[in-house]
Amino acid sequence: MAQKRSKFIPENSTPLQEKFINCLMIGGKKSVARKIFNESLQIVSNKVQKDPVEIFEKAIENIKPSLEVKAKRIGGAVYQIPIEVKPTRRVTLSIRWLLGVSRGKKGSPMAKKLADELILAANGEGAAVKKREDVTKMALANKAFAHYAKY
């Protein structure tokens, strides 16, 4: 398997935060993405009297899916087959869903939208957590096709 490269990470940032900033970045403007992320953490710390980094990590943890469905064509029919999600994909999906929900809201700056969604997700609420629950429900509903996973 391919070895992961070590990356330069600023001393006050974690690899998870850097991955999030990279996914938040649009058009190669990393400084803008970092500014938005830091502003959202500032808003979170003002609204909730807890460590904003803890809130961020708890939000990502609450959004991570354990199961998902994958479409497979077997004998002319397409089945939605439930599979377990690998750890790296869990993080990627949770970040993607969180950013998708935040970007989908209208009427306020991205930092505020992101902060609101982080707080909701840390409490186990919000649209990103609902997305995770919907994906898990679909996987459980298609449990009957799990034996096709070997194909």
- d(C-alpha 94, C-alpha 5), whole Å: 22
How far are the Cα atoms of 97, 139, 140, 141 from residue 72, in angstroms, in the given order?
23, 14, 16, 16
| Any domain includes 21 | yes
In a domain, 8, yes or no: no
Q: What is the pLDDT of residue 3?
A: 73
Closest to 112 (Cα-Cα) out of 21, 40, 24: 40
**At a CB cut-off of 8 Å and minimum separation 6, what does 97 contact?**
63, 128, 131, 132
The answer to whether 131 and 101 are in contact (CB under 8 A) is yes
Supply the pLDDT for residue 149: 83
Question: How is residue 143 annotated by DSSP?
Answer: G
- The answer to the question of residue 3 being in a domain is no
Residue 135 lies in a domain: yes
In a domain, residue 10? The reply is no
Number of domains in the chain: 1
Is 7 inside a domain boundary? no
pLDDT for 1: 65
* DSSP-derived pairing of the beta strands 77-84 and 67-74: antiparallel
| Residue 6 domain-assigned (yes or no) | no
Position 6 scores a pLDDT of 62
Among the listed residues 15, 40, 150, 11, the one whose alpha carbon sits nearest the alpha carbon of residue 99: 40
Domain residue limits at 120:
15-150
With 0.85 as the threshold, say if the pTM is over it.
yes
Question: Facing residues of 70 across strands?
Answer: 81
For 46-78, what is each residue's pLDDT tens digit? 999 899 999 999 999 999 999 999 999 999 999
Chain centroid to CA 83: 18
Q: How many other CB atoms are found less than 10 A from the CB of residue 55?
A: 21
Q: Which residue has the tokens 């502003």?
A: 39
CATH of the domain at 76: 1.10.455.10
Per-residue pLDDT tens digits for 83-135: 999 999 999 999 999 999 999 999 999 999 999 999 999 999 999 999 999 99
- What is the per-residue pLDDT across 6-32, written as a single tens digit (0 to 9) for each? 665 667 888 999 999 999 999 999 999
Whether 114 is covered by a domain: the verdict is yes
Element (H, E) at 73: strand 67-74
